[in-house]
């Protein structure tokens, strides 16, 4: 069958289209190959970067692992240190508790010892001044006027300056006479006082009273003074009182010094006597007078006040360690328990032992106490001290005497020690 002309044209056009399509496909394939090659290249770059990232991650993991190992080592060291510190804190708390307990005991003991020291100092001062009662001091007598024999000089001087003295030269018996050992720093200083020790106290009193009655006692043109011989401490206190009296007289207030160092003054229209300057301080401050009292005097006054307050609180009028109300309450209660009766009997014996002698302090030791003779005669108290029961305060809790069962459990005391 023969093709017609239109058919031939149509075929040639189709072939042209096919060629065009094939060319386009070739171009597309070429571009696709280029794209694939670029994708492959990108993939290779990505693989390289992923490999680098893997290496970085691996290195980072190693660093993290190393850091964690160091951290675990540090935490382990800190845990060990915390355990050590915890142990040290527990030990420190125990030592602090023991120290606080000992400090409380030492504080009570020091308070008791200070009060005892103040009382003993007061007694020593009293004894020292009593031993000086037969002594007399003469002031403003020129040095060198006595010559070589002080006793003979004084025996001739006294009847001369005290013409009304009802004593003869032979009646004046002097055991010793000398000047005090106070050094003179300057020539203008007053002469050293003369200290006289009389054999008879009444003779000394007659001479002193006569001098005070006469008022002005002169040796030639020079006025001399007579006074008792006091201890240095009492002289210091009387000097403080005389200073206050001088200030009061400038304000036209009548005042004088009484033995040993008491101040008597007019407060308004009433005459009052103050045992110490500390007690007179409020009245003196109202008059704008400042007193000179050192810290030791303040402490001594405070300890004396506390001692009397403690004794007033602990003792009744009969000197009992318990008050009268407590004694009456004890008499009203009928005790049937034989152990309580025995304990009260022992306590009553302790009260009788300490009545009228020394104040029973809870800071006193139990073993070897000279004020509690059973602690020396009985070795049981030594065993108590070895087990930790050393002072009277350990027998109490909140001012209540502990039962023996508590002491036995706390200090492991044997049952045969029951009291």
Q: What was the pLDDT predicted at 343?
A: 67
> What pLDDT is recorded for position 265?
92
Q: Determine the pLDDT at residue 350.
A: 65
Cβ-based neighbour number of residue 99 at 10 Å: 12
Using the Cα atoms of residue 289, residue 295, residue 296 and residue 299 in order, give the sign of their dihedral.
positive
Q: Which two tokens stand for residue 35?
A: 């794209």
Give the separation between CA 68 and CA 63, rounded to whole angstroms. 8
CB 160 within 8 Å of CB 153: no
pLDDT, position 24: 82
Report how far residue 202's alpha carbon sits from residue 396's, in angstroms, rounded to the nearest whole number: 55
Give the model's pLDDT for residue 6.
59
Q: Where are the domains of the chain?
A: 37-132, 133-229, 233-306, 338-411
- pLDDT in the model for residue 341: 67
- The CATH number assigned to the domain with range 133-229 reads 3.30.70.1820
Hey, what are 346's tokens?
């022992």
CA 167 to chain centre: 58
CATH 3.30.250.20 fits 233-306, yes or no: yes
Q: Is the peptide bond before 413 cis (omega within 30 degrees of 0)?
A: no
Task: State the pLDDT at residue 273.
Answer: 92
Place of tokens 């994708």: 39
**Strand positions, DSSP E, 157-259:** 174-179, 194-198, 217-219, 222-228, 255-258
Where the chain has pLDDT below 50, the residues are 1-3, 308, 311, 314-333, 356-359
Tokens found for residue 257: 């010094």
Residues forming a β-bridge with 306:
none
pLDDT in tens, 248-287: 999 899 999 998 889 999 888 889 999 888 888 888 888 8
Q: How far apart are the first and last CA of the chain?
A: 154
């Amino acid at each position: 069958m023969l093709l017609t002309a239109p058919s031939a044209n149509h075929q040639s056009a189709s072939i042209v289209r096919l060629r065009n399509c094939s060319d386009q496909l070739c171009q597309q394939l070429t571009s696709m190959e280029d794209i694939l090659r670029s994708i492959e290249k990108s993939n290779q770059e990505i693989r390289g970067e992923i490999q680098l990232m893997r290496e970085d991650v691996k290195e980072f993991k190693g660093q993290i692992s190393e850091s964690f190992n160091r951290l675990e080592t540090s935490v382990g060291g800190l845990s060990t240190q915390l355990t050590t510190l915890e142990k040290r804190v527990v030990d420190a708390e125990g030592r602090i508790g023991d120290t606080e307990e000992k400090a409380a005991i030492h504080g009570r003991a020091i308070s008791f010892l200070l009060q005892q020291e103040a009382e003993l100092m007061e007694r020593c001062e009293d004894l020292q001044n009593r031993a000086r009662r037969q002594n007399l001091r003469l002031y403003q007598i020129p040095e060198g006027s006595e010559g070589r024999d002080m006793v003979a000089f004084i025996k001739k001087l006294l009847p001369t300056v005290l013409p009304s003295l009802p004593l003869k030269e032979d009646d004046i018996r002097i055991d010793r006479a000398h000047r005090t050992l106070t050094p003179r720093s300057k020539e203008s200083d007053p002469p050293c006082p003369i200290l006289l020790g009389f054999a008879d106290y009444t003779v000394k009193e007659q001479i002193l009273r006569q001098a005070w009655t006469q008022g002005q006692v002169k040796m030639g043109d020079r006025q001399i003074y007579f006074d008792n011989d006091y201890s240095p401490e009492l002289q210091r206190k009387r000097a403080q009182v005389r200073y206050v009296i001088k200030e009061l007289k400038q304000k036209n207030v009548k005042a004088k010094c009484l033995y040993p160092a008491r101040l008597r003054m007019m407060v308004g229209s009433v005459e009052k006597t103050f045992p110490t300057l500390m007690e007179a301080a409020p009245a003196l401050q109202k008059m704008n007078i400042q007193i000179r009292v050192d810290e030791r005097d303040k402490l001594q006054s405070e300890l004396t006040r506390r001692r009397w307050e403690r004794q007033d609180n602990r003792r009744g009028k009969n000197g009992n360690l318990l008050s009268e109300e407590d004694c009456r309450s004890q008499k009203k209660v009928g005790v049937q328990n034989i152990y309580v009766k025995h304990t009260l009997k022992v306590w009553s014996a302790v009260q009788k032992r300490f009545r009228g002698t020394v104040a029973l302090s809870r800071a006193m030791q139990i073993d070897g106490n000279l004020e509690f003779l059973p602690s020396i005669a009985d070795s049981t108290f030594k065993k108590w001290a070895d087990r930790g029961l050393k002072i009277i305060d350990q027998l109490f809790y909140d001012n209540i005497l502990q039962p023996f069962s508590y002491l036995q459990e706390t200090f492991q005391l044997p049952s045969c020690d029951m009291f």
